[in-house]
């Protein structure tokens, strides 16, 4: 997703802006640019592709100035070209934008007399602001008048010719933080971007706009009233971006899982969760992508452990389907970033209807966290790799705790069984460590996997969503087509794909349905299919013969096995991507946080 930075500094800002943009690279982007004010004059440099290209452009054609704004663009309206890259400039105004201006066609029509240069929705913001200035409004008032005309979602930063001590920042739908320095001020999409410059941060709230100068910030709410927003001190570790000796953030995050899961579980062991599942008639779980698969696993837990009906929905479908929502439902929204536009919109849709709106998020100051009645942090720490790994793990950790809580409150499991499940959870970080030790064994098969044109993942019960998550991880970072199926569904269609060029990865701990999954595996092998069985020692003993590969995981209570089997799923994707030589941490076309529809 696009990233925004702004600096009113005491030194040359071009290198500072580029460094700050580097810290936003993890969000995904396909072009970048900066604008500065020098001797009252606005100027900008932009480049397509990685930030190195922008740095090169700046070496050949430096940009001076102590005030500036910068942007990494993830193309939505118009391809990734230099012309479409931000900052957009119209006369005396330069603008960087994250989000979508939904009424940009109307605005363009209204401004048809002006000279538009790009295919973007964002340029309308700069043109509109310049139009207001042409009509006599000074910069601050022109920016505020512009905001009034915009529909859609945005984080915006405006920079003005002749104004070396002003950035106007605004937030509606996309987060924006103001950083406080010593005689310097900053603007950033998140605290991570601002990390090296300051750890004193004020988050704008929905509808806020701010006049930022070197001496401070004046924030107004959506109605234009002066607003007091808390200044927070951000702990250094939550803005640190280092790979900890790994080649990629994704690898670091996979290997962090025992520690972050253990931290998360200890937090929820000690914490009283203020939720009463005795009065609720169903659980509604809504999310996107990997977070949606975490919800799909949790459905098995809520239904099997707590005898509680559970609907799982993809947020982009849920928000428009207008399905009935029981007033007694507990609606749970799961999101790593807490800013996913569809999940946030679904939360807002359900807020008036369900008894209780709960969020399970990684970023505590995010919109989804703030707008829920109860927010449960997953405590995974900053996740930089676009492919979500440790956040998935900790989403499962929190949801498992909730399902056990629901089961105890509703009397559907005995205290003994609840303790057994908690004991299994507590043992999982150790088991995950054992699974991580299988890395070399996994890597030894991924060269061959990387040659595949298509890969199927199969699983039953809670391993079915794990199969879908395994397929998502593989396609995201290796660009190999992959699908996750319920094992029993194989013969209803996907079996037509089977030949010796389509590897089939089967997640199957030795559980009550193991024999059925083995039958499905046999159907694949009978058609010359290559099966990679991921199971435990009992499963390998019973069904490991004749497979292309068999990986033995530690023994674990099958109902909680998805937390353990997530590890081979992630490592398979990671090592296959290494063979393919793809950009693991910033795979093509993907953004870390999807703040547009
Ligand atoms: O920030 P969120 O958890 O709401 O993001 C949801 C999805 O966009 C995200 O899980 C996406 O599917 C990841 N790239 C998966 O690895």
pLDDT at 236: 79
Q: Which pLDDT band, with edges at 50, 70 and 90, does 133 fall under?
A: very high
pLDDT at 244: 84
What are the residues whose beta carbons fall under 8 Å from the beta carbon of 417, sequence distance 6 or more? none
Q: Calculate how far, in angstroms, residue 463's C-alpha sits from the geometric centre of ligand 1.
A: 19
What residues act catalytically?
2, 592
Residue 386 Cβ contacting ligand 1 at under 6 Å: yes
Residue from 249, 285, 287, 288 whose mutation best tests the ligand 1 pocket (most atoms within 8 A of CB): 288
Q: Calculate how far, in angstroms, residue 362's C-alpha sits from the geometric centre of ligand 1.
A: 11
**pLDDT for residue 504 is more than 80:** yes
**pLDDT for residue 525 is more than 90:** yes
pLDDT at 6: 98
Q: Calculate how far, in angstroms, residue 21's C-alpha sits from the geometric centre of ligand 1.
A: 21
Instruction: Give the 3-state secondary structure of residue 563.
Output: helix
Residue from 27, 189, 290, 335 whose mutation best tests the ligand 1 pocket (most atoms within 8 A of CB): 290
Q: Calculate how far, in angstroms, residue 592's C-alpha sits from the geometric centre of ligand 1.
A: 7
Residue 369 Cβ contacting ligand 1 at under 6 Å: no
Residue 253 Cβ contacting ligand 1 at under 6 Å: no
Give the up-direction half-sphere exposure of residue 99: CA atoms within 13 A in the CB hemisphere: 27
Distance of CA 293 to the CA centre of its chain: 13
Instruction: Kindly give the number of the ligand 1 atom that is closest to the alpha carbon of 591.
Output: 14
Residue 593 Cβ contacting ligand 1 at under 6 Å: yes
Q: Tell me what the mean pLDDT of segment 320-335 comes to.
A: 93
Name which residue leads in pLDDT, 490 or 354.
Answer: 490
Q: Which pLDDT band, with edges at 50, 70 and 90, does 306 fall under?
A: very high
CA distance 129 to 385: 36
Instruction: Kindly give the number of the ligand 1 atom that is closest to the alpha carbon of 391.
Output: 3
pTM assigned to the model: 0.86
Residue 595 Cβ contacting ligand 1 at under 6 Å: no
The residue whose CA is least distant from atom 4 of ligand 1 is 335
pLDDT at 238: 73
DSSP E strands, 39-144: 41-48, 67-73, 88-90, 93-101
Residue 463 Cβ contacting ligand 1 at under 6 Å: no
Q: Give the DSSP per-residue string, 486-514.
A: EGGGGGGTGGGG-STTS-EEEE--S-TTH
**pLDDT for residue 10 is more than 90:** yes
Instruction: Kindly give the number of the ligand 1 atom that is closest to the alpha carbon of 336.
Output: 3
CA distance 12 to 4: 18
**pLDDT for residue 240 is more than 80:** no
Q: Calculate how far, in angstroms, residue 213's C-alpha sits from the geometric centre of ligand 1.
A: 35
pLDDT, tens digit (0-9, with 9 covering 90-100), for 248-270: 999 999 999 999 999 999 999 87
pLDDT, tens digit (0-9, with 9 covering 90-100), for 76-129: 888 999 999 999 999 999 999 998 899 999 999 999 999 999 999 999 999 999
Residue 289 Cβ contacting ligand 1 at under 6 Å: yes
The residue whose CA is least distant from atom 12 of ligand 1 is 289
Nearest C-alpha neighbor of 373 from the set 352, 400, 391, 398: 352
Name which residue leads in pLDDT, 28 or 130.
Answer: 130
Residue from 289, 332, 583, 597 whose mutation best tests the ligand 1 pocket (most atoms within 8 A of CB): 289
pLDDT at 241: 80
Instruction: Kindly give the number of the ligand 1 atom that is closest to the alpha carbon of 386.
Output: 14
Q: Which residues pair with 330 in a beta bridge?
A: 283, 356
Instruction: Give the 3-state secondary structure of residue 374.
Output: strand
Residue 337 Cβ contacting ligand 1 at under 6 Å: yes
Mean pLDDT of the chain: 95
Residue 395 Cβ contacting ligand 1 at under 6 Å: no
Q: Calculate how far, in angstroms, residue 541's C-alpha sits from the geometric centre of ligand 1.
A: 36
| Cβ 204 vs Cβ 172: under 8 Å | no
**pLDDT for residue 159 is more than 90:** yes
pLDDT, tens digit (0-9, with 9 covering 90-100), for 435-462: 999 999 999 999 999 999 999 999 999 9
Residue 389 Cβ contacting ligand 1 at under 6 Å: no
Residue from 286, 340, 595 whose mutation best tests the ligand 1 pocket (most atoms within 8 A of CB): 340
pLDDT at 28: 84
Q: Calculate how far, in angstroms, residue 287's C-alpha sits from the geometric centre of ligand 1.
A: 9
**pLDDT for residue 418 is more than 80:** yes
**pLDDT for residue 597 is more than 80:** no
Q: Give the DSSP per-residue string, 440-456.
A: HHHHHHHHHHTT-SEEE
Q: Calculate how far, in angstroms, residue 74's C-alpha sits from the geometric centre of ligand 1.
A: 16
Phi, psi of 233, deg, nearest 5: -100, 120
Residue 291 Cβ contacting ligand 1 at under 6 Å: yes
Residues in the chain: 597
Query: What percent of the chain stands above pLDDT 70?
Result: 100
**pLDDT for residue 349 is more than 80:** yes
């Amino acid at each position: 997703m696009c990233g925004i930075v702004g600096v009113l500094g005491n030194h040359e800002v071009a290198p500072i802006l580029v460094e700050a943009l580097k810290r936003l690279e993890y969000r995904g982007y396909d072009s970048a640019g900066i604008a500065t004010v020098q001797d009252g004059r606005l100027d900008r440099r932009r480049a397509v592709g990685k930030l190195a290209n922008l740095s090169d452009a700046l070496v050949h054609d430096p940009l001076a100035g102590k005030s500036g704004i910068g942007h990494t663009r993830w193309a939505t309206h118009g391809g990734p070209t230099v012309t479409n890259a931000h900052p957009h400039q119209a006369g005396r105004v330069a603008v960087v934008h994250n989000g979508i201006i939904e009424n940009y066609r109307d605005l363009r029509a209204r401004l048809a007399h002006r000279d538009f240069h790009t295919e973007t929705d964002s340029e309308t913001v700069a043109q509109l602001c310049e139009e207001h200035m042409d009509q006599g409004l000074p910069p601050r008032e022109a920016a505020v008048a512009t905001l009034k005309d915009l529909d859609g979602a945005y984080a915006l930063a405006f920079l003005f010719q002749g104004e070396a001590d002003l950035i106007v920042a605004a937030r509606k739908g996309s987060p924006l933080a103001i950083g406080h320095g010593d005689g310097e001020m900053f603007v950033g999409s998140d605290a991570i971007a601002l990390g090296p410059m300051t750890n004193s941060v004020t988050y704008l709230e929905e509808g806020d706009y701010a006049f930022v100068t070197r001496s401070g910030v004046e924030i107004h709410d959506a109605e234009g009233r002066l607003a007091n927003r808390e200044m927070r001190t951000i702990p250094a570790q939550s803005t640190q971006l280092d790979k900890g000796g790994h080649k990629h953030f994704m690898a670091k995050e996979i290997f962090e899982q025992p520690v972050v899961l253990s931290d998360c579980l200890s937090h929820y062991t000690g914490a009283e969760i203020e939720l009463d599942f005795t009065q609720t008639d169903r659980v509604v779980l809504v999310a996107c992508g990997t977070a949606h698969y975490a919800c799909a696993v949790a459905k098995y837990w809520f239904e099997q452990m707590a005898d509680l009906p559970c609907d799982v929905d993809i947020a982009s479908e849920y928000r428009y389907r207008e399905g009935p929502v029981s007033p007694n439902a507990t609606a749970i929204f799961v999101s790593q970033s807490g800013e996913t536009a569809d999940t946030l919109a679904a939360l807002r849709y359900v807020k008036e209807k369900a008894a209780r709106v709960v969020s399970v998020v990684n970023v505590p100051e995010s919109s989804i966290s703030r707008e829920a009645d109860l927010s449960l942090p997953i405590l995974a720490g900053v996740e930089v790799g676009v492919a979500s790994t440790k956040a998935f793990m900790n989403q499962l950790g929190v949801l498992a705790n909730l399902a056990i809580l629901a089961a105890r409150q509703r009397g559907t499991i005995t205290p003994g069984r609840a303790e057994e499940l908690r004991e299994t959870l507590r043992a999982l970080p150790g088991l995950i460590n054992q699974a991580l030790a299988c890395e070399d064994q996994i890597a030894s098969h991924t060269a061959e996997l990387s040659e595949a044109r298509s890969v199927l993942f199969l699983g039953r019960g809670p391993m079915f969503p794990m199969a879908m998550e395994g397929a998502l991880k593989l396609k995201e970072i290796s660009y190999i087509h992959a699908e996750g199926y319920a094992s029993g569904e194989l013969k209803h269609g996907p079996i037509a794909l089977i030949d010796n060029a389509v590897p089939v990865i089967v997640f199957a701990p030795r559980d009550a349905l193991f024999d059925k999954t083995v039958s499905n595996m046999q159907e694949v092998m009978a058609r010359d299919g290559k099966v990679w069985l991921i199971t435990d020692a009992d499963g390998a003993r019973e069904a490991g013969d004749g497979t292309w590969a068999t990986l033995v995981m530690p023994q674990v209570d099958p109902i909680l096995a998805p937390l353990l089997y997530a590890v081979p799923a992630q490592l398979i994707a990671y090592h296959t991507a290494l063979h393919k030589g793809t950009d693991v941490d910033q795979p093509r076309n993907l953004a870390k946080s999807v703040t547009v529809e």
